[in-house]
Structure 1
Amino acid sequence: MIKRVGVAALIALGISGWIWLLVRGPWVFDSGHLARITPGAGAAVNGFRTAVAAIGVGAAAIVGIYFTHRNYELNRSAQFSDRYAKAVELLGGESEALQMGGIYALERIMKDSPYDRSAAIETLAAFIRKTSPIPDEGPVELFVSGESNTLPSPVPASARAALEVIARRTPSKRDPEIRLERCDLRGLWIENVNFDRARFEYCNLSGSGFPSGSIRGSYFMRANLKGLHLEGSDLTESKFPEAQMEGCCLIDAKIDQANMMIANGLSRQMVDAAHSARDAKLPWT
């Protein structure tokens, strides 16, 4: 409100100044030549007023463009807010079809609106945490190192779709952390993921595969990574405190500056298969 009053006051002041220049300007700026009313003096007055009028028209056009653009941005923001609210409503639906509609609506918002991108990402991550949590009881592993995947993934289709939307988004330094802690994400296979700065604390990723992905600066505290395929992935500066890494495939992976000092099940053979391990913190270093 205060900002609007200030803008209105500036516009009123500008109009007043323009009118003053139009009426009194010639005598103020060229009083020596206008002491006597002559045809030449009249032409000078008309020329000055024409110039001032042109400046006023130009200023009015600029102000008009500014307010047109501002109204466009406000209307566009309102449209995105409405789209976001409808997408969240769909995401909270009971049927999988409605949830899928909400997921892909949020993906579209992520692409179209930089202002709503972070909120859309955080909403999708919250949906995954809600729909695919670590089970309280029962077996927590589907896969054993060296064995083939013979069981289906327990991850609901809607949660998988939400994870894929997050994974394939265009990288941006402004994105928030991807909070996926305590999620059951077994048996998934998604290539070329963007999981930079993701938090996978206590997650079960056994038997999943994220080959050729970007997983820089992520956190895997006490995560179950048994049989996880990370071939060709970039794990630079990621941390693995007490993660279970038996059978984790690091062939051609980049683990520069990664912290695996207290990871469980990590072998020299696994690290030797990596593409690079510059300044990595390993159990035997």
Structure 2
Amino acid sequence: MKIRRKVRRVRMWTRARRSLLLAGVGVGVFVAVVLLLIWRGPWWVDGKYLSRTGLQDGSAALVTGFRTAIVQLAAVFGAGVALLFTGFNYRLSRRGQVTDRFTKALEHLGSEEMYGRMGGLLALEQIIEDAPDQSFHTVQVLNAFIRQRAPRAEGARASTTGRVAAARRAARQRTLKPRNHAALPPKPEADVQQAIALLVRSIQRGDISSAVVDLSGLHLAGAILTGADVWSHKGFYIPGIYRADLSLASFSGADLTGANLAHADLFGADLTGANLAEANLTGANLFTAKFIGANLAEARLDKASLAKTNFSRADLTGANIAGSDLTLTDFTEANLTEVNLAEVNVRYIHLDGAIGLTAEQRNCLEE
């Protein structure tokens, strides 16, 4: 890291030297032109009124006025150049300060102590407030941090790299098999929770339409993402973002009240006991997802893929499921009071113990 800093400083110094050299040449040429105009300018412009051997009557005033005007124009031009140079130096200095702060924040994120990582996240948030143009880089760092710190969800396959690393660790420890993972935590650690919240805020603040953040396959049960809605930004992969990729992720017990997960990919996701009241899941892929005991009151599930989705004991009061695919969907003991079931595709659904169904709703499910 120190070597990189030195290389960066050398490059910045080299660029600064080139800029100073060009600036010096420009100033020299400018001064030469001004002196030449002061010396010969009056005769070039008003030569017919001036004598080449001596000054005629009133000629002195003409020469003095011309030279005074040249000096004033040169002063104005020089002041403008000085302001531009000052602004350039300010931007260069500020960029260097932001880079140094960013580097120090990254060092804190790699700390083994919780307070060190929390300090790094707070530093990143301050950097975004002072320099919004750094939002893109911050989102990339936060995504990598969360993927490194958050545990994998049950059922999510480990990557080949992860399996090889586990096998190598097991070999170094002279064990026959890699150790089993510890029990998954009921909620994210404090640094992971803070990173998730900062990730959403970073996307809301910056214009980073090319960012790709992927939290699929992570265990993020208990994460607090209340109102995580960035509807105007499309293509992001983060809870609360349009077209989110959360396949096989675990958000059991999470607070996602009012979250915007329209067209999200929640294939196989576990949202058992999650609070999704008034959440937007329009057009989402919820194939085999688990919403056991979840709160989906007033949620939008219209035109969603709900095939083999488990809504057992879920509260769907006032939810909109119009136009959704309900193939093999499980509504056992679910509360379906005032649920909009218009134009749903029904095949082999489970309604054992479901409450709140009216005759009209049953007709929709039988068509």
**TM-score bin, normalised by smaller chain:** 0.7 to 0.9
Q: 1:160 aligns with which of 193, 214, 217?
A: 193
Is residue 227–residue 245 contact of structure 1 (8 Å, CA) maintained in 2? Answer: no
**Residue 271 of structure 1, CA deviation:** 9.9
Secondary structure of residue in 2 paired with 1:53? helix
The code of the aligned residue for 2:291 comes to E
**Structure 1 residues 77 and 99 mapped into 2: Cα distance closer, same or farther (>3 Å)?**
same
CA distance in 1 between partners of 2:149 and 2:106 (Å): 14
| Structure 2 portions without partners, runs of 5+ | 1-14, 157-183, 239-244, 326-343, 346-367
Q: Which residue of 1 aligns with 2:37?
A: 21
Q: Which residue of 1 aligns with 2:122?
A: 104
- TM alignment of 1:77-96, pairs within 5 A: 77-96=95-114
CA distance in 1 between partners of 2:79 and 2:310 (Å): 68
Q: Which residue of 2 aligns with 1:240?
A: 285
Is residue 222–residue 253 contact of structure 2 (8 Å, CA) maintained in 1? Answer: yes
**Residue 191 of structure 1, CA deviation:** 1.9
Is residue 261–residue 281 contact of structure 1 (8 Å, CA) maintained in 2? Answer: no
Is residue 133–residue 206 contact of structure 2 (8 Å, CA) maintained in 1? Answer: no
Q: Which residue of 2 aligns with 1:186?
A: 221
The code of the aligned residue for 1:48 comes to F
Q: Write out per-residue CA displacement over residues 255-278 of structure 1, whole angstroms, 9 at most, x where no aligned residue.
A: 78xx733664288x959624xx8x
Q: 2:270 aligns with which of 203, 221, 224?
A: 224
**Structure 1 residues 65 and 174 mapped into 2: Cα distance closer, same or farther (>3 Å)?**
same
**Residue 93 of structure 1, CA deviation:** 0.7
Q: 2:255 aligns with which of 209, 215, 218?
A: 209
**Residue 68 of structure 1, CA deviation:** 1.2
Is residue 259–residue 279 contact of structure 2 (8 Å, CA) maintained in 1? Answer: yes
**Structure 1 residues 243 and 106 mapped into 2: Cα distance closer, same or farther (>3 Å)?**
farther
**Structure 1 residues 20 and 88 mapped into 2: Cα distance closer, same or farther (>3 Å)?**
same
- In percent, how many aligned pairs have the same letter? 26
CA distance in 2 between partners of 1:7 and 1:193 (Å): 50
| TM score, norm. by length of structure 2 | 0.61
**Structure 1 residues 230 and 241 mapped into 2: Cα distance closer, same or farther (>3 Å)?**
closer
The code of the aligned residue for 2:192 comes to A
Q: Write out per-residue CA displacement over residues 28-65 of structure 1, whole angstroms, 9 at most, x where no aligned residue.
A: 22223234722422212211111111111111111111
| TM score, norm. by length of structure 1 | 0.76
**Structure 1 residues 110 and 234 mapped into 2: Cα distance closer, same or farther (>3 Å)?**
farther
Q: Write out per-residue CA displacement over residues 118-140 of structure 1, whole angstroms, 9 at most, x where no aligned residue.
A: 212221221111111315679xx
**Structure 1 residues 215 and 52 mapped into 2: Cα distance closer, same or farther (>3 Å)?**
farther
Aligned residues: 265
**Residue 215 of structure 1, CA deviation:** 4.8
**Residue 169 of structure 1, CA deviation:** 4.3
Q: Which residue of 2 aligns with 1:260?
A: 304
Is residue 129–residue 182 contact of structure 1 (8 Å, CA) maintained in 2? Answer: no
CA RMSD of aligned residues (A): 3.5
**Residue 92 of structure 1, CA deviation:** 0.6
Q: Which residue of 1 aligns with 2:141?
A: 123
Q: Which residue of 2 aligns with 1:30?
A: 46
CA distance in 2 between partners of 1:206 and 1:23 (Å): 84
**Structure 1 residues 159 and 23 mapped into 2: Cα distance closer, same or farther (>3 Å)?**
same
Larger RCO of the pair (alpha carbons < 8 Å, separation 6+): 1
Q: 99-108 vs 1-10, which deviates more? A: 1-10
Q: Which residue of 1 aligns with 2:324?
A: 282
CA distance in 2 between partners of 1:84 and 1:116 (Å): 9
CA distance in 2 between partners of 1:120 and 1:28 (Å): 60
**Structure 1 residues 281 and 244 mapped into 2: Cα distance closer, same or farther (>3 Å)?**
same
Rg larger for: 2
Q: Which residue of 2 aligns with 1:61?
A: 79
